[in-house]
Amino acid sequence: MKSDVDKFWDDAVGKIRKAKGLCPLSPEEADAAFDAAPEVPMSADEIASIVDAVTSGELASWEPLAQDDYDRPKWSSIKKGSE
């Protein structure tokens, strides 16, 4: 059996997660978000490419895109002995 304090914090944590957007959407919220999303039209070539990929039965291969905007430290800027 949970104490009143534990029940309070369980409730508070749930509300904070919800307020910060860290909880999954409810079915109603998901439907509303789907309905509010703009339609993105696809060309006939894109549709054909997707159908071909799905019906081929083969796994797709792809190369991940480089994240040029990722701000990683330069090795020259890391000082030795700073670990």
Please report whether residue 54 resides in a domain: no
pLDDT tops 50 at residue 56: yes
pLDDT interval class at 33 (50, 70, 90): very high
What DSSP string describes 22-54?
-SPPPHHHHHHHHHHSPP----HHHHHHHHHHH
Percent of the chain with pLDDT over 90: 27
* Cβ contact 29:21 at 8 Å: no
Please report whether residue 23 resides in a domain: yes
pLDDT tops 60 at residue 5: yes
User: Phi, psi (5° rounding) for residue 6?
Assistant: -65, -40
User: Phi, psi (5° rounding) for residue 63?
Assistant: -105, 130
Extract the tokens encoding 47. Answer: 């549709």
Number of domains in the chain: 1
Please report whether residue 13 resides in a domain: yes
Please report whether residue 55 resides in a domain: no
Please report whether residue 9 resides in a domain: yes
Domain that holds residue 18: 1-30
pTM more than 0.75? no
